[in-house]
Structure 1
Amino acid sequence: MTQTLTVHAVRLAEGDPFPRLSAPLVGGGVLELPVAPQGYWSVVLLYRGDWCPFCRSQLTEFQKLAEQFAAQDIQLFALSADAVEAAAQTVTRHGLTFPVAYGLAPREIAQTHGAYLSADAAYLQATGFVLRPDGTVALALYSSGAVGRLNAADTLGFVQYLRR
């Protein structure tokens, strides 16, 4: 059974400003959130790592609908504590066309963004955010284990609903 390490953290809620997050991108550059998607709806997926079959499934699902997200001007971002090699493998393995960042400091992200940690604090549990164009949180979904995460179709429908 997988255990989760509890860190004193505040969970983000609807309307909260999304805390600054900076991480290197596979292929070069640096992802700066919430600056990068300013003016656009965005989906931020914190995934456990390339080794996680549930994360790989989630990322593949979002890639299958990536064109639909883009057509709705919704930007996708995926981030993990993986090393660059593992993150690059994730991008290649799944043909991901959206930005993938790596090298997150799990304890720091747990404290600033509320993500749950693995028992050994080596990685973050699956966490998903939908951000409004002004950088505030429209939805935060926290999982304390391998399952329980945003899925692509529901997330796309959620943003469409909020825009009405």
Structure 2
Amino acid sequence: MFHIAEDHMTNQLKNGDRFPTLAIPQVDGGTLDPARDFAGEYGVVLMYRGHWCPFCNEQIAAFAHAAEALSQAAIKVMAFSVDDEAASAAFAARHNWPFPLGHSADVETIVARTGAYDMRHPGRGHFLETTGFILAPDGTIVNAVYSTRAIGRLVPGDVIRLVAFMRSLPG
């Protein structure tokens, strides 16, 4: 069968919390760190289950398709999974992914720092469940979406509308 970790409630990040420092290897070199890479701008962090997940494929395709609208809204995006670099690069190419993409994320580190759910599956191994964050320019969390399985995730239109709303608030 499979196992979903059950002790995440105390580790989950809340709105207003500062997003933690991460070091995720980036496809084609370098390292992703949302707190560093999004400094001074709104940003979206997408953790996806893997290249094999049809729901993840839909989400990544939707964000890739919305790249121009996200850029016009001055919203940066990055995504990562536990997939190795070769699988991640193929995934990015399949979707014409225009944003930074990480690979080989360490499940235990990500779970400990973000509270993301993880799963152990006999055919898929140990991976992160879908998790998404919208970060404010100061690196704090505007919105966190934790999923315990494949569904329940950020979509580009909601991200654009929420960031526009946040920008409209006084002070």
TM-score range, shorter chain: over 0.9
Calculate the TM-score normalised by the size of structure 2.
0.91
For residues 54 and 141 of structure 1, the distance between their equivalents in structure 2, rounded to whole angstroms, comes to 15
Alignment size in residue pairs: 164
| Cα displacement (A) at 1:2 | 5.6
Q: What percentage of residue pairs aligned between the two structures are identical?
A: 38
**In the alignment, structure 1 residue 162 sits paired with structure 2 residue 163:** no
The one of 139, 142, 159 equivalent to 1:138 is 142
| Structural RMSD (CA) | 1.4
- 1:146, 1:4 → 2: CA distance? 12
Looking at structure 1, the residues matched to 3 and 56 of structure 2 have their Cα atoms a distance apart, in angstroms, of 17
Instruction: Determine the structure 2 residue equivalent to 1:5.
Output: 5
Q: Structure 2 stretches of 5 or more lacking a match?
A: none
TM-fit CA distance, 1:33: 2.2
How far is 1:143 from its partner?
A: 0.0
Q: Does 1:100 align with 2:101?
A: yes
Amino acid at match of 1:125: E
Conserved? CA contact 1:48–1:80, under 8 Å: yes
TM-score by length of 1: 0.95
Confirm or deny: 8 A CA contact 1:7 1:116 kept in the other structure.
Answer: no
Aligned to 2:126: 122
Answer whether contact 2:16 2:142 (CA < 8 A) is retained.
yes
| 1:17 alignment counterpart | 18
1:20–1:67 CA distance, 2 compared to 1 (3 A): same
Q: List alignment gaps of at least 5 residues for structure 1.
A: none
2:33 is the counterpart of 1:32: yes
Indicate the SS of the match to 2:15.
Answer: coil
User: Aligned partners of 1:82 and 1:54: how far apart in 2?
Assistant: 15
Contact 2:42–2:76, Cα closer than 8 Å, also in 1: yes
Cα offset for 1:27? 1.6
Following TM superposition, the consecutive aligned residue runs of length 4 or more in structure 1 with deviations greater than 4 angstroms are none
Tell me which residue corresponds to 2:69: 68
Map 1:71-82 → 2, pairs under 5 A = 71-82=72-83
Task: Give the Cα–Cα distance (whole angstroms) in 1 for the partners of residues 111 and 47 of structure 2.
Answer: 11
Q: Which residue of 1 aligns with 2:154?
A: 150
